[in-house]
Amino acid sequence: MDVRIYYEDTDAGGVVYHANYIKYFERARTEYFRSHGFFVAELASNGFVFPVVKLVIDFKAPALHDDLLSVTTIPVRVGGSSITLCQKVIRQCDGKLLVDGLVTLACISPALKARRIPLEIRQMLEADMESVL
């Protein structure tokens, strides 16, 4: 997913405010699932919600006003009721890795009870993991 950095994304020094990377990760995860035919609102209406339960971020270099970034999402682990995704933010003009993250999502019901990940989602994630190897 591409992200253009606008003035509103930055702090007074023109550097992307750190919390905005979490928003970019969220958007990229949503688009990742959408690109595979899974829609967050539809999953929720069917009783499958995927909140973030763990987030580890390594900030390597700053993004600046007007940069064009790519945010990638790659599954790295699929458990019975959790998914871990590797997400990266890369500046397009020079290919520099700016932010590296690992995000773990739980699969729960709207009543906040753990659920098994639906088979179709599990198969899609496992296929994507295999294609990266």
**CATH number of residue 87's parent domain:** 3.10.129.10
Domain with 18 in it = 2-132
Average pLDDT over residues 25-33: 98
Rounded-to-integer distance, Cα 93 and Cα 119, Å: 39
Catalytic status, residue 2: no
Per residue in 91-111, pLDDT (tens digit) is 999 999 999 999 999 999 999
What pTM did the predictor assign?
Answer: 0.94
Is residue 112 pLDDT above 80, yes or no? yes
Is residue 133 pLDDT above 70, yes or no? no
Is residue 28 pLDDT above 90, yes or no? yes
**Spatial CA neighbour of 93 closest among 8, 4, 1, 11:** 4
Q: Rounded mean pLDDT of the chain?
A: 96
The answer to whether residues 78 and 126 touch, using CB atoms and an 8 Å cutoff, is yes
Structurally, how many domains does the chain consist of? 1
**Residue 132 belongs to what H/E stretch?**
helix 119-132
**Coil, strand or helix at 65:** coil
Annotated catalytic residue within 2, 11, 58, 66: 11
